[in-house]
Structure 1
């Protein structure tokens, strides 16, 4: 009776009779845990289901690879369900639950609880519905953790013609019963369940642009997709939109919260991308059915928990990816979680191996898409989640493929092609590659109308991930500026590049073919040159650079002479770019371009570019004072000022 009295505080207690509460109470026990005690253990058989009475529970995911566990959420609200994954296959705990401080719970043996639900489905309906409602905060927490580290991805990223997205045939017209039967959501439902649901089903169509559900709106219709596409968007408090998924598979549930007995709060937006046809069931009609057939209602709650678990698994997997920067590790963890549900002969086991190497990632994406269409039920479900997880990596893969094609095009170009023509083709190929990259740009209005300018930029290190198979690294920042100039002037300009050392002949051949201006630096092979030879080469370089400016050609170079990470950029400027301007005798415009995060992986960040107002040397140096002294003072002053430009680019990328 004491436990029955406690259970009367349950959120759904007023929906049950006292004898039904007593049946729940008879199977329950109170358990006290101390700080650090394990309540549930990931992958273990879920033998117990818990409700939190007092204290806090932290949830951890073991991500393998000797990296320990990652905390993915906490619960401290009374009546929070713990271990509800035991209500769905494979009946194993999805996370490790750890007591934080003194923690008290009510516990039931899962086997006994499920037997009780089968005998008294009304009890099962309300226990499961309450579990669903009180667990949605875990999804919100996971989503917020993901968005904090995610790049805002638009629906267009999911729909790109090369994004490996698979499309399903709409197929012939079906009866409602046949249609529901082929949806994976309704797999466990009995035929009489589906027959009852068919009678309250209707078909509707919605045009592109229709908002099916807004943030904070409660769904009043349960929908199953027949054809078309819907974007699932998460909107942050500062109005950033993250497209988490494109829903487009026949039989996919797109408004599941309407079927919950307890109205579930909503933190997302569903927008129709392409005209859709759906099967709809009104929430009111479902609630009436639940009242008449509680077993049907209980089955719905089981399946909604299955959907919630799948959504949690997908979001948490993306958090793991952000944390450890290794997608294949995330997918390996998800495969381990599925455990015995996967056949030992499944091709799913190949996917983490293919993903672990850049040269085989394309095979991984093809295999994921194949299994999402033609695999068994478990393979399809996991492959669909893998498609979400790998979306940023797919864009990065396509970017890398673009870099490889660009490099190959330059290296294999015939002798009959002019360097100018090849440079412009290179810029166009880079533009294709960079179309997969999220770049924010401010200040384009500062690009001069006429050519013949010097574009300077802070030079960033290349991320080692972008080393091509032949160990060649494309300088992304300078290629980007060349591409930008091509878009404005139909000429990509000339870059001033370091003449490499002997072992770097591949690097040198690439830039020689493009006809860029080579300059000797302290990192070049100059040990066999006399001081006079070095002076002659320097003067010849200044003359050539000046002539190019006079001809109306843009020059691109970094005043630093070296590369750094974004947070260290720029280092003190060297005088080279400004000596070119001075030697040209035409006082050209100097256009500062500040860049951020070109040293990072594009799947993990946004890039920022800020073009500042151009200036001439005559505007910043006093002609009445010695040129060298004036230039030295200007470089000291301007290097510090340029750091503020880089901070602008950082802020642009991060906001």
Structure 2
């Protein structure tokens, strides 16, 4: 079959003259590949442009030290473009494309076909528009992959705490032409192009909550953002909504599909978060303009492919981060991909270095913000992308900074500050820090109305990331429960903490200052050798704890005496918490709290907290039988039952 006969089945062939089809055919070459053979190689110069004729192709991204490890898309749809990077800077392939089974492609030399487009802009417009249409499924696939491993953000995560007014006085009124020139999208357009577009453009305002695009809609408007914020939501087949991005950059194209010559199906929704002003152009007006000036239409298709490529790069960056759990690796890879588009003097090269150490991450975020506002060209584009990619990391960094400020506040507090007051201030600091954390809580109705209870919980390990610069580890789970009690009872309660070993004096000073109850062990005090000494110390502790309960104070402790990861939690319960309840003589309520994922990086997970119905020891122990035997039997079964509580917390977190 000749090239001309093959190309007669092109989806846009009915728009071409016989002469145009012949010119396109004369430059075409049919090439066959065996299974696994490379069609395009990532980073290689994009000398050729391919479209799939038969067979299938798989797209791979080489990622840093994980070379060739990530599959980012597949296609068996005829006429799918393969390696259209030759139509946009830096004219290098963004992925490695390999044949799946016997595969046949149509190939054109990029320089020759671009020269043909310049001579025949109508032909160029239609081929590029077709390439755009048949490439959009790659974006859908990439977003679907992102959904599989994402901890999704909602649009509210991007809201500013300060008030915002989109329609501010911006000084002298700028012309539409001046606005176009400020937008990166319109950089390659000639002045006469922009003048033509300005004539069919209009400014329009939309209120918060308005949908600019709904799933399944073919857009009839092309929009460029002037002010405000818009959420780009991905809708799954089950119509679950995930905020993929929040668009807020002045001059950013927020709705582009209407500008394609071929109508593009849509599975996203675009909804305003704040009042916005946009510059919009009706699709029909654009199509009329393309018919009159096909050169302008061709340039528009080039830029839409550039926009699609940028969107693909952004979503694949998030997939890389999820797959390898390393934002740093993703950023390094994307800087490498940018290649010669970045100046060797660009400060962007500092970002991965600063991001690599948690104590300099704040400097990395500040630098990204600066370059997003003041950067030049690709530097600015990448900085904006890195900000979005590292949004969970930024929230985690702010949480970590909150822990540092809380600890510093306690350590520096004057001795004259009462311990109960300092405990409550500590909980207020922790609450401010957890504003950046995604926590799901169930069972708040089970909290007793009055204080004077024992709160038990499964003790989880701390992730090493949250070790403070002085090597002090803040126990996140117990601090969280103290904060919860402070919000409910206006008092954060007393935690039972192990008195540390000699080298852990900093740890002990922190808890002493807060006035928590210290329990001595043989590790913390080697001089406790005899059984009598140990019994006396234990009884003193029970008496002190009982007195606090009688005064109406809440006690917080873990029955395990050690910490574990969520999937191992809890281990067998020790009797301490229940011995306190028994020794108090008032039979207090015991409130079980099950925790999940406090041992993980908070940028990678959600936390789950389940509060179960409280009970009294007298309800689970037969006082007529020997207490120790009854308690031992109860603890053996209750430790296992508590595991089901933890599993509830896991399910809650993963919803």
Asked if TM exceeds 0.5, the reply is yes
Q: Give matches, 1:385-396, under 5 Å.
A: 385-396=385-396
Q: CA deviation at 1:208?
A: 1.3
**Offset of residue 66 of structure 1:** 5.2
Does the Cα contact within 8 Å between 1:463 and 1:600 map onto a contact in 2?
yes
1:483-494 equivalences in 2 (<5 Å) = 483-494=483-494
Query: d(CA) in 1 for partners of 2:452 and 2:649?
Result: 25
Corresponding residue number in structure 2 for 1:346: 346
Which residue is 1:296 aligned to? 296
Further displaced range: 526-535 or 377-386: 526-535
- Looking at structure 1, the residues matched to 172 and 443 of structure 2 have their Cα atoms a distance apart, in angstroms, of 53
Determine the structure 1 residue equivalent to 2:212: 212
Q: In the TM superposition, what is the alpha-carbon distance from 1:329 to its structure 2 partner?
A: 1.7
Q: How far 1:215 moved relative to its partner? A: 2.1
Instruction: Evaluate the alpha carbon distance shift between residue 64 and residue 292 of structure 1 in structure 2; reply closer, same or farther with a 3 A threshold.
Output: same
Count how many residue pairs are aligned between Structure 1 and Structure 2.
Answer: 652
Distance 2:307 2:627 in 1: 71
- Equivalent-residue separation in structure 2 for 1:332 and 1:396 (angstroms): 20
- 3-state DSSP of counterpart to 1:242: strand
Inter-partner Cα distance in structure 2 for 1:53 and 1:456:
65
Please give the TM-score of this superposition, normalised by the length of structure 2. Answer: 0.97
Helix, strand or coil: the match of 1:435? helix
Q: Which runs of 5 or more residues in structure 1 are unaligned?
A: none
- Distance in 2 separating the partners of 1:590 and 1:16: 80
Q: Return 18-27 or 136-145, whichever deviates more.
A: 18-27
**CA positional deviation for 1:240:** 4.1
SS in 1 for 2:216: coil
Match of 1:413 in 2: 413
Q: Report the equivalent of 2:440.
A: 440
Q: Alpha carbon RMSD of aligned pairs, Å?
A: 1.8
Residue in 1 that maps onto 2:495: 495
1:22 to 2:31 alignment? no
Please name the residue that 1:223 is paired with: 223
Q: Following the alignment from structure 2 to structure 1, what is the Cα–Cα distance between the partners of residues 303 and 27? A: 24
1:241-320 to 2 correspondences below 5 Å? 241-320=241-320
2:226 counterpart SS class: strand
Q: Could you tell which deviates more after superposition, 492-501 or 626-635?
A: 626-635
Question: Is the Cα contact below 8 Å between 1:218 and 1:263 reproduced in 2?
Answer: yes
CA distance in 1, matches of 2:390, 2:642: 36
The answer (yes or no) to whether the contact 2:522–2:528 under 8 Å persists in 1 is no
2:593 aligned with 1:581: no
Q: Would the aligned equivalents of 1:168 and 1:250 in 2 still touch at CA under 8 Å?
A: no
1: CA distance, partners of 2:130 / 2:521? 70
In structure 1, the partner of 2:526 is 526
CA contact (8 A) 2:180 2:194 kept: yes
Deviating more after overlay: 4-13 vs 523-532: 523-532
Q: Which moved more, 1:374-383 or 1:418-427?
A: 374-383
Residues 36 and 99, structure 1, Cα contact 8 Å, conserved in 2: yes
Alpha carbons of structure 1 residues 400 and 295: separation in structure 2 relative to 1, 3 Å: same
Q: 1:497 to 1:160 in 2, by over 3 A?
A: farther
In structure 1, the partner of 2:561 is 561
Residue equivalent to 1:459: 459
In structure 1, distance between residues paired with 2:523 and 2:200: 76
What corresponds to 1:611 in structure 2?
A: 611
Listed one character per residue, the Cα deviations across residues 480-511 of structure 1 (whole Å, up to 9, x for unaligned) are: 11000000000000111111111111111111
Quote the Cα distance in structure 2 between the aligned partners of 1:168 and 1:324. Answer: 43
Q: Distance in 2 between matches of 1:160 and 1:228?
A: 12
Counterpart position of 1:571: 571
Distance 1:242 1:335, change over 3 A: same
CA distance in 2, matches of 1:95, 1:52: 16
What is residue 159 of structure 2 aligned with on the other side? 159
**TM-score w.r.t. length of structure 1:** 0.97
- How far has the Cα of 1:21 moved from its partner? 2.0
Offset at residue 528 of structure 1 (A): 4.6
Counterpart of 1:114?
114
Please name the residue that 2:364 is paired with: 364
Aligned to 2:622: 622
User: Within 2, Cα distance between the matches of 1:357 and 1:128?
Assistant: 44
Structure 1 contact 168–249 (Cα < 8 Å) conserved: no
Q: Quote the residue 2:194 is aligned against.
A: 194
Q: Secondary structure, in 3 states, of the residue corresponding to 2:298?
A: helix
SS of 1:340's equivalent in the other structure is helix
Pairs within 5 Å for 1:123-134: 123-134=123-134
